[in-house]
Amino acid sequence: MSALIEIDRLSKRFGAFTAVDDVSFRVAKGEVLGFLGPNGAGKSTTMKMLAGFVTPSSGTARICGEDVVDRPVTAKRHLGYLPEGAPTYPEMTVAAFLGFAARVRGFRGSEARDRVAHAMHLTTLEGVRLQPIETLSKGFKRRVGLAQSLLHDPPVLVLDEPTDGLDPNQKHEVRKLIAQMAPEKAIIISTHILEEVSAICTRAIVIAHGKILADATPAELAYRGPSLEAVFRDLTMPREHV
Amino acid sequence: MGATFTVARRELAGYFATPVAYVFIVIFLVMSGALTFTLGNFFTRGTADLSPFFNFVPWLFLFLVPALTMRLWAEERRLGTIELLLTLPLAQWQAVLGKFLAAWAFCAIALVLTFPLVITVNYLGNPDNGVIAAGYAGCLLVAGAFLAVGAAISALTKNQVIAFVLTVAVCFLFTAAGSPVVTEFLSVRLPVLVEIARGISITERLGGFSRGVVTLRDLVFFASFIGFWLFANAVVVDHRKAD
């Protein structure tokens, strides 16, 4: 099976600091990849490069075979991306914001309306469709960002901390939604929450200091130590602190 | 082009969703009217034209346009929405152009709302409405030039106050370059620079428009001025988007 996401020797340096160091991996259709690592490990930078927001210092990434550096606009058409913190325009209503995203993606008229309605249905936003986003709670804002990334039913989904700030019920809903879509898509989610990885991911990559430290299924990772937490600490903490 | 207009439409709606639009328009209308009637001696000069109004508009734009552009990119960076905007399937120049067009359309709306002046001058006398139309076109081009400068500077910084002050300074440079104070000073000290100063002066270009003379040279000047700053804007956005 061909990979929908290919990360090819990707590096990003900020001055003397190397945020991402020669990272390569592939994600195939049907996989949900959990991207794990401590803060500042390079998770978000890798995702930003994949989404075409940060320009790589070297290497490249391909989405559905389209190079994100050489053909950014085409690559982005196949991508649904939820940036870290789920930024949205605060003064817009939910419906206006999603309508804007739909029109930028080239949907017009009734098709745009259907897409927006469907995305709001998936993320249960119908009740707040005419509210300005700034008046919504953190959980709703996160779901607005998620709805935006699902709008065009993309084959590739990159979600940076999709369940951050949600209450347990909402987390459950989002995980259910991701699990539902998983067979048809290649999905990367970054998270701090290890239970989330065992719950929805088919594969986990642990990254620290810009390097991949482990690439295995959650079960295999957990098998390496007493618990997934212990394995994670063991992998990502500097040796002298262990 | 579709994505450009979608971005422009969202931006323009954004102005009216906040008090920014209303404050801008009200202040612009009050100030332009007041200056025209008081300092401009609209009634006592005894000529049915709008040249006092056209003389003040660039100076009003000098302070009001940077207030409009300071948030253009700085706000996107502050909110993090720049990451959203630039990961949607649109080219960076489309985002740059869309934002510029929205701000320009907004200035056009503000100018259109000064129509009572046109009615007044037509009621009082028989002005040359062609000259008035040319004057408005010139004002719109000045607004476009300032907006292009302001948008590029807004992309440079997250801080809106810095964006505002720098934009006023740069626009002032281009406005004052052709004024008698500057040219007389230069003709004594550095005569070589006089022609250059007049060449880059926006007021110098506007002079023709407010006399009703629209030349290709002036149009090319504004087009290349706006084009240059928009290009700089795209370059800056590309370089600093993720900082």
* Confidence (pLDDT) at A242: 43
Phi then psi dihedrals of residue B179, to 5 deg: -70, 150
Structure tokens at A138: 């953190």
Question: Which band of pLDDT confidence, cut at 50, 70 and 90, is reported for residue A239?
Answer: low
- pLDDT single digits (tens) A106-143: 999 899 999 999 999 998 899 999 999 999 988 899 99
As a whole number of Å, the CA-based R_g of chain A is 18
A3-12, A157-166, B64-73, B178-187: least confident range: B178-187
Structure tokens at B80: 């993090």
Average pLDDT over residues B173-193: 78
- The interface residues of chain A toward chain B in range 195-234, judged by CB-CB distance below 8 A, are none
- The interface residues of chain A toward chain B in range 85-144, judged by CB-CB distance below 8 A, are 85, 87-92, 96, 100-101, 103-106, 132
Domain boundaries, chain A: 1-78+154-242, 90-153
Of A48, A89, A105, nearest to B89 by CB-CB distance is A105
Residue in chain A nearest B12 by alpha carbon: A92
* Confidence (pLDDT) at B142: 94
**Contact (CB<8Å) B10/A92:** yes
Question: Over chain A, what is the mean pLDDT?
Answer: 89
Question: Which band of pLDDT confidence, cut at 50, 70 and 90, is reported for residue B129?
Answer: confident
- Measured between CB atoms, does B129 come within 8 Å of chain A? no
**Residues of chain B contacting residue A88, judged by C-beta atoms under 8 Å apart:** 81, 84
Phi then psi dihedrals of residue A171, to 5 deg: -55, -45
- pLDDT single digits (tens) A74-108: 999 999 999 998 999 999 999 999 999 999 999 99
Average pLDDT over residues B192-202: 77
**Residues of chain A contacting residue B11, judged by C-beta atoms under 8 Å apart:** none
pTM, entire model:
0.90
Cα separations in angstroms, A228 against A7, A101, B195: 25, 38, 73
Q: Is A184 exposed, middle or buried (0-12, 13-18, 19+ CB in 10 A)?
A: exposed
Question: Which band of pLDDT confidence, cut at 50, 70 and 90, is reported for residue B127?
Answer: confident
- pLDDT single digits (tens) B35-45: 888 777 777 77
* Confidence (pLDDT) at A103: 94
Task: State percent of chain B over pLDDT 70.
Answer: 99
Residues B125, B126, B129: CA angle, nearest 5 degrees: 125
* Confidence (pLDDT) at B148: 96
**Contact (CB<8Å) A83/B242:** no
Task: State percent of chain A over pLDDT 90.
Answer: 60
Question: Over chain B, what is the mean pLDDT?
Answer: 88
Of B3, B83, B88, nearest to A87 by CB-CB distance is B83
B218-241: string of b/e by CB count within 10 Å (b at 16+)? Answer: beebbeebbeebbebbbebbeeeb
Highest mean pLDDT among A237-241, B104-108, B127-131, B177-181: B104-108
**Contact (CB<8Å) B79/A101:** no
- pLDDT single digits (tens) A216-238: 888 888 788 777 777 888 787 76
Please check the confidence at residue B112 and state whether its pLDDT lies above 90: yes
Domain boundaries, chain B: 2-169+208-240
Q: Among 3.40.50.300, 3.20.20.140, 3.40.47.10, 3.40.1160.10, what is the CATH number of A1-78+154-242?
A: 3.40.50.300
Q: Are B237 and B96 in contact (CB under 8 A)?
A: yes
* Confidence (pLDDT) at A238: 66
Name beta bridge partners: A32.
Answer: A187
Please check the confidence at residue A196 and state whether its pLDDT lies above 90: no
